[in-house]
């Protein structure tokens, strides 16, 4: 499934279940650190991002992706590649 919504909005929507404390999300938010998501949780979340945008984000790339802004750039690049 792809979406016309801005990528950052979609990512924030997908992060909502991982953000029970309702921390304000922005491009600068460090996903694992600020939302306290463990390594497996991050990988599970990335699978949801992959399926939402119908792209592939290899685990090797996830290791270098920390903030929401980093992830937006990865998604943009992967959509262009697809």
Partner 1 sequence: MTDLFDKHRPIAERFERMMELGVNAVGITNDQLISPTRAMIQGRETILAGTNNYMGITFEKAAIEAGKKALVEFGTGTTGSRIANGSYAMHKELERELAAFLNRKHCIVFTTGYQANLGMISGLAGPRDTVYLDADSHSSIYDGCTLSGAKLVRFRHNDAADLDKRLSRSEGEEGGKLVVLEGIYSMLGDRAPLKDFVELKKKHKFQLLVDEAHSFGVLGPHGRGLADEAGLEAEADFVVGTFSKSIGSIGGFGAGDHPMFETLRYAMRPYMFTASSSPATIATSIAAVKTLAREPERRDALRRNSERLFNGFRNLGFEMGCEDVSPVIAVKCKDEPSTIMMWNALLKAGVYVNIALPPGTPNRLCLLRCSVSAAHTDAEIDQVIATFAKVVAGR
According to DSSP, residue 5 is labeled: S
Q: Where are the alpha helices (DSSP H) in 1-82?
A: 7-15, 31-34, 39-53, 59-62, 68-81
Residue 58 engages partner 1 in binding (rule: CB under 8 A): yes
Q: Does 3 bind partner 1 (CB under 8 A)?
A: no
Contacts of 74 (CB under 8 A, 6+ apart): 57, 61, 65
2, 5, 28, 44: which one contacts partner 1 (CB under 8 A)? 44
Q: Give the closest residue to 18 by CA, choosing from 30, 6, 5.
A: 30
Stretch that binds partner 1, among 8-16, 23-31, 56-64, 65-73 (CB under 8 A): 56-64
Q: Which of residues 8-37 bind partner 1 (CB under 8 A)?
A: none
Instruction: Tell me the C-alpha distance between 49 and 71, whole Å.
Output: 9
Which among 4-12, 21-29, 54-62, 69-77 is the span making contact with partner 1, rule CB under 8 A? 54-62
Q: Which residues bind partner 1 (CB under 8 A)?
A: 38-41, 43-44, 47, 50-51, 54-56, 58-60, 82
């Amino acid at each position: 499934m792809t979406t016309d919504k801005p990528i950052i909005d979609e990512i924030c929507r997908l992060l909502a279940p991982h953000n029970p404390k309702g921390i304000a999300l922005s491009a600068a938010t460090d996903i694992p650190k600020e939302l306290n998501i463990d390594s497996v949780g991050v990988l599970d979340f990335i699978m949801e991002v992959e399926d939402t945008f119908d792209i592939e984000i290899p685990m090797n790339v996830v290791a270098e992706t920390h903030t929401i802004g980093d992830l937006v750039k990865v998604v943009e690049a992967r959509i262009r590649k697809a």
